[in-house]
Amino acid sequence: MDSGLSVLWISRVIHRKGMYNIVHSHDYFHFAFSSIVNEEEADANAKCIERPLYCFPPNTPHGGGYFCGGGQGINIMFMVEDKAFEKMLEKFPFELVPLNRAHEWLLNQIVELCHRPGVDNGLINVAVSYYLRLVMQDNHELLQPVGAGSLSERCMAYIDKNYMHSITLEDVAHHIGKSRNYTSSIFNNTVGMNLMEYVNSVRIKNACAMIAYSGIPMEEVAYCCGFTNLKHFGRVFKNVVGTTPVRYRTSHATRDCKFKGDEALLKMPYKEEDDMFTYIVDAQKFIKWRTTEEYILQAPRDED
């Protein structure tokens, strides 16, 4: 069986209430399973991670929330060679999938597979591919039919996916099969802003994540978010956010954002902590941590 993907590494981690996941992105897929046993929110105004499944495509900013309860998590990082499979993963709403004990059991079996001496890398690839396809197949009703949704929603979906490239009103009109004037009118009337204002709002939202939680140079941030020059980027950023990109970065330092709860909780006994590890597939090597505290402290912090 051709798996269509290559697993880079698999991690099993322990979640503590108050653990914070900074906004970040990378050039591979990130599948995450979180089993939260206590979902009491510590702060009603903060984003709380509580859904069981996520699958983040490459170069997609994610994170920016804390764990509102304790539990275990499994992370799988992988690359996809099969373009059709890649498109399926990108559009499937994993975050809407309800917790399924059979799927959870299968995922844990894949993790246990990593512990077998001399396990074949291809077997891990096939197992992960089978698991992801099974989840999508068993929850196919979550996918909207092609072309579903209002015209304005289709416009926004196109912009959300392509904001890093040059986008014109003509591009969006062609995508939905309507005239330029009709597209502009329907978008203004339903969204409450013109189409290019929405494009800029999406670009700046993603720029904010890159600026606040990384040390990426401003020129690269501008380019990655669809701006052709730094001066134009700075002008649009200030118009949308109300301050300059440099001042925004300074005011959003994240050196203390790895743990937002009671630090004493990090040192409490936790019976599953011996299971914390990252398995590097190509090297067939384990990196293990003894405690939640060690796991948090070893994680590299983004520069301000």
For 228-271, how does the pLDDT look when each residue is reduced to its tens digit (9 = 90+)?
Answer: 999 999 999 988 888 889 888 876 654 444 666 666 767 666 66
Alpha helices in the chain (DSSP H): 83-91, 101-113, 121-138, 151-162, 169-176, 180-191, 195-212, 218-224, 230-241, 245-251, 292-298
Residue 232 vs residue 46, higher pLDDT = 232
Tell me the CATH number of domain 151-212+214-251, given options 1.10.10.60, 3.40.50.300, 1.20.1300.10, 3.90.650.10. Answer: 1.10.10.60
End-to-end CA distance of the chain: 45
Q: What is the architecture of the domain spanning 5-143+257-298?
A: Sandwich (2.60)
Q: Where are the domains of the chain?
A: 5-143+257-298, 151-212+214-251
> Smallest Cα–Cα separation from 91: which of 33, 136, 27?
136
pLDDT at 137: 93
184-191 contacts at long range (C-beta below 8 A, 24 or more positions apart): 186/151, 186/152, 187/151, 187/152, 187/155, 190/150, 190/151, 190/152, 191/152, 191/156
Average pLDDT, the chain: 81
Q: Kindly report the pTM of this predicted structure.
A: 0.64
Length of the chain, in residues: 304
Q: How far apart are CA 129 and CA 79, in angstroms?
A: 11
Q: What is the pLDDT of residues 90-125, one digit of tens each?
A: 989 898 888 788 898 999 999 999 988 889 999 999
Render 126-161 in DSSP notation, one character per residue: HHHHHHHHHHHHHTGGGSPPTT-S-HHHHHHHHHHH
- pLDDT at position 268: 67
In this prediction, residue 297 has a pLDDT band, given cuts at 50, 70 and 90, of low
Instruction: Locate 39 and state its tokens.
Output: 């979902």
CA 236/CA 121 separation, integer angstroms? 47
